[in-house]
């Protein structure tokens, strides 16, 4: 291995790349990591972290109103976009510096610039070339805006956090979790939001009951949801942007945000110089050890198009480093990965949807509950929580848990631990709940809603 400049050269300093670099260096490997944009990748800079901060900001508006029936005589104050935006920038800069410090602490060399692969063991950054025994591609994903008349007037989630002016009227195109989350954020901050989706119901891939409940609850908040419609064209006009829709209607808005998907970030990587196979979906194809069809080149995280979640990239980075440099067998288990959608109210989910569970296990039992959160019995807010458990009839194991309601993500993390441990419905039923909480409903649903 000492015939090369480094034992490992990582391209991309996002969650997965940094975790792999740190752990490999901890095992004694000589590591370099190249980043051409910002330390921490999408999650820290234009993803999970700023999104959650903006979600917090957007919830205050409803909280001021909720407080009145609890005795607080206050009106909703004005909102200043620049304060939120600039405080967010300060926090992200702090996190960027932490990533630099973490890499410096393990003596991993950070190289600023876009790396491109020259051959199976050589990487170039600018005019400088480096050799490595192993190369790891961890460049993540990138927002994709399709081409259509006026598409150049649309922005992506990369730009929306740092708009110079707050968009009073916003059109969001897309039906995935990113579109749904931003609809809730800007609606909560006071914008008039229209969300457009070409399909009959958004959040494809989530449980059907959650999707239907989400549409009902999000409409209540004031978001203008429009399904089975798409954008035909965007044109600037005296009143902002004119958005022509496929149903013949049009919108006048200040900003059009496209959240219609992300693609593997492969531009300029030099993969044409090596034998790295690209999947039909445009992602880097890898085996269960994250090795590409070029034996010395590996890839992990969103660039592989598997489970595109930050904690999964972190787990893959650890697995890669332990196997390649620590001599340890450490495979990532992709079953029962919990996830959350930070819409309003939140969605939390783990395990199989109803359709997936029936296909996988055969006969199942379903448990459902819909109720008004205790807080809103006084606040007066028209909001309902929905919970659902899916149980394999043969084993009594809980194989799916889905929730939309306050703190759903926090609650689902604990449920995920139980489900990974193989908890049965009988164990859920004999677990004593914490009262009064919403979470106790998961151990109080005794009667099946339906039984195959």
- E strand or H helix at 192, and its extent? strand 192-197
Please say which residue of 227, 243, 260 terminates a domain. Answer: 260
Query: Tell me, what's the pLDDT at 76?
Result: 87
Asked if residue 191 and residue 83 are part of one domain, the reply reads no
Q: How many CB atoms are located within 10 Å of the residue 158 CB? A: 14
Exposed, middle or buried by CB within 10 Å (0-12, 13-18, 19+), for 272?
exposed
Asked if residue 136 and residue 27 are part of one domain, the reply reads yes
Asked if residue 37 and residue 163 are part of one domain, the reply reads no
Assign 213 to helix, strand or coil.
helix
Instruction: Report the alpha-carbon distance of residue 342 to residue 327 in Å, rounded.
Output: 38
Please say which residue of 260, 289, 305 terminates a domain. Answer: 260
Q: What is the CATH number of the domain that holds 393?
A: 3.30.390.30
**Is 366 within the bounds of a domain?**
yes
Asked if residue 447 and residue 363 are part of one domain, the reply reads yes
Query: Tell me, what's the pLDDT at 379?
Result: 95
What confidence tens digit (pLDDT) does each residue in 85-108 have?
999 999 999 999 999 999 999 999
Asked if residue 269 and residue 123 are part of one domain, the reply reads yes
- E strand or H helix at 20, and its extent? helix 15-26
Q: What is the CATH number of the domain that holds 290?
A: 3.50.50.60
**Is 1 within the bounds of a domain?**
no
Asked if residue 248 and residue 291 are part of one domain, the reply reads no
Instruction: Report the alpha-carbon distance of residue 351 to residue 399 in Å, rounded.
Output: 6
Cβ–Cβ < 8 Å for 242, 256: no
Query: Tell me, what's the pLDDT at 108?
Result: 97
Asked if residue 125 and residue 29 are part of one domain, the reply reads yes
Q: Is 435 a catalytic residue?
A: yes
Pairing of strands 385-392, 364-371: antiparallel
The domain containing residue 186 runs over which residues? 151-260
**Is 284 within the bounds of a domain?**
yes
Asked if residue 287 and residue 168 are part of one domain, the reply reads no
Count of domains observed in the chain: 3
pTM of the predicted model as reported, rounded to 2 decimal places: 0.96
Instruction: Report the alpha-carbon distance of residue 447 to residue 58 in Å, rounded.
Output: 37
Say which DSSP state 284 is in.
Answer: B
Query: Tell me, what's the pLDDT at 375?
Result: 96
Which residues face 136 on adjacent strands?
A: 10, 298
Which of 121, 144, 153, 435 is the catalytic position?
435
Query: Tell me, what's the pLDDT at 226?
Result: 98
**Is 331 within the bounds of a domain?**
no
Please say which residue of 325, 352, 368 terminates a domain. Answer: 325
Asked if residue 137 and residue 11 are part of one domain, the reply reads yes
Residues of the chain falling short of pLDDT 70: 1
Asked if residue 164 and residue 241 are part of one domain, the reply reads yes
């Amino acid at each position: 291995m000492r015939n090369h400049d480094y034992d490992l050269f990582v391209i991309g300093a996002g969650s997965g790349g940094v975790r792999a670099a740190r752990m490999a260096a901890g095992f004694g490997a000589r590591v370099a990591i190249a980043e051409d944009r910002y330390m921490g990748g999408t999650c820290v800079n234009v993803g999970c972290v700023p999104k959650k901060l903006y979600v917090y900001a957007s919830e205050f508006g409803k909280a001021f109103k909720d407080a009145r029936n609890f005795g607080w005589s206050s009106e909703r104050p004005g909102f200043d976009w620049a304060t939120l935006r600039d405080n967010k920038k300060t926090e992200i800069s702090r996190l960027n510096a932490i990533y630099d410090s973490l890499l410096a602490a393990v003596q991993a060399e950070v190289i600023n610039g876009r790396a491109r692969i020259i051959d199976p063991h050589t990487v170039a950054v600018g005019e400088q070339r480096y050799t490595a025994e192993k190369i790891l591609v961890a460049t993540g994903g990138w927002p994709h805006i399709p081409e259509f008349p006026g598409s150049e007037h649309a922005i992506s989630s990369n730009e929306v956090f740092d708009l110079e002016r707050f968009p009073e009227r916003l059109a969001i195109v897309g039906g995935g979790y990113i579109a749904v989350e931003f609809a809730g954020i800007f609606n909560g901050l006071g914008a008039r939001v229209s969300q457009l989706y070409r399909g009959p119901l958004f959040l494809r891939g989530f449980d059907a009951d959650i999707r239907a409940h989400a549409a009902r609850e999000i409409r209540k908040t004031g978001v203008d949801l429009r399904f089975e419609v798409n954008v035909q064209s965007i044109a600037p006009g005296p009143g902002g942007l004119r958005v022509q829709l496929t149903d013949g209607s049009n919108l006048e808005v200040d900003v059009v945000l496209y959240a219609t998907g992300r693609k593997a970030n492969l531009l300029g990587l030099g993969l044409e110089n090596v034998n790295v196979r690209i999947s039909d979906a445009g992602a880097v194809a890898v085996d269960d050890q994250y090795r590409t069809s070029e034996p010395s080149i590996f890839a992990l995280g969103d660039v592989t198009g598997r489970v595109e979640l930050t904690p999964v990239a972190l787990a893959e980075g650890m697995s890669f480093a332990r196997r390649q440099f620590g001599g340890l067998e450490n495979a990532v288990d992709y079953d029962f990965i919990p996830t959350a959608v930070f819409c309003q109210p939140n969605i939390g989910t783990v395990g199989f949807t109803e359709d997936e569970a029936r296909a996988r296990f055969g006969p199942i039992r379903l448990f459902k509950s819909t109720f008004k959160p205790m807080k809103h019995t006084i606040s007066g807010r028209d909001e309902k929580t929905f919970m659902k458990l899916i149980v394999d009839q043969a084993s009594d194991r809980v194989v799916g848990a889905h929730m939309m309601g306050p703190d759903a993500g926090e609650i689902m993390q604990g449920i995920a631990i139980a489900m990974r441990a193989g908890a049965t419905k009988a164990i859920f039923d004999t677990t004593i709940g914490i009262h009064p909480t919403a979470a106790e409903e998961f151990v109080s649903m005794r009667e099946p809603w339906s039984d195959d």
